[in-house]
Amino acid sequence: MLGVSGATPDVPAKAFAFELLKLLLQVAWADHDVAPAEAEALLDYARRSGLGATEQSALAAMLAGGAPLAPPNLGLLKARRTDVLRAVKELLLVDLELVEEEEELLEQIAALLG
């Protein structure tokens, strides 16, 4: 899951991945509960993106509710708006359904990214 990868000339791949994960954490917690499939998808993406142990530990703590959610750098994410929106939608579909509230969240993120 979460097939986003690569870098742009302005944004290194690991920096983009970490900022994307911070946004996806906000999405995962939007319903006040992170499903096991969501957590697994996010941790897998962190590993595949080559994030270091520090970033992976921070991610695990935020997934477990043991640390406050870090705000994503939307300015950095705007450079790859389509990839970000695709990743958000993939995460929302982990449970194989997209309810109205989740569609609204996707629209809000799209608006924030310009």
pLDDT values of the chain reduced to their tens digit, one per residue, 114 residues:
566 655 555 678 899 999 999 999 999 988 888 889 999 999 999 999 999 999 999 999 999 998 999 999 999 999 999 999 999 999 988 877 677 778 888 899 999 998
Q: Is residue 8 part of a domain?
A: no
- Asked, for residue 1, whether it belongs to a domain, the answer is no
Q: State the DSSP string of the chain.
A: --------SSS-HHHHHHHHHHHHHHHHGGGS---HHHHHHHHHHHHHTT--HHHHHHHHHHHTTSSPPPPP-HHHHGGGHHHHHHHHHHHHTTTS---HHHHHHHHHHHHHT-
Range of the domain at 45: 13-112
Q: Is residue 5 part of a domain?
A: no
Note whether residue 2 is domain-resident. no
Quick one: pLDDT at residue 4?
67
| 4 occurs within a structural domain | no
| 31 within a domain of the structure (yes/no) | yes
Give the model's pLDDT for residue 101. Answer: 79
pLDDT at 94 (0 to 100) = 84
Report the alpha-carbon distance of residue 37 to residue 52 in Å, rounded: 22
Q: CA 110 to CA 87: how far, in whole Å? A: 12
User: Is residue 85, in this structure, part of any structural domain at all?
Assistant: yes
| Domain tally, the chain | 1
Alpha-carbon gap, residue 9 to 82, rounded angstroms: 16
In-domain check, residue 104: yes
Q: How far apart are CA 24 and CA 79, in angstroms?
A: 16
Structure tokens at 40: 């697994």
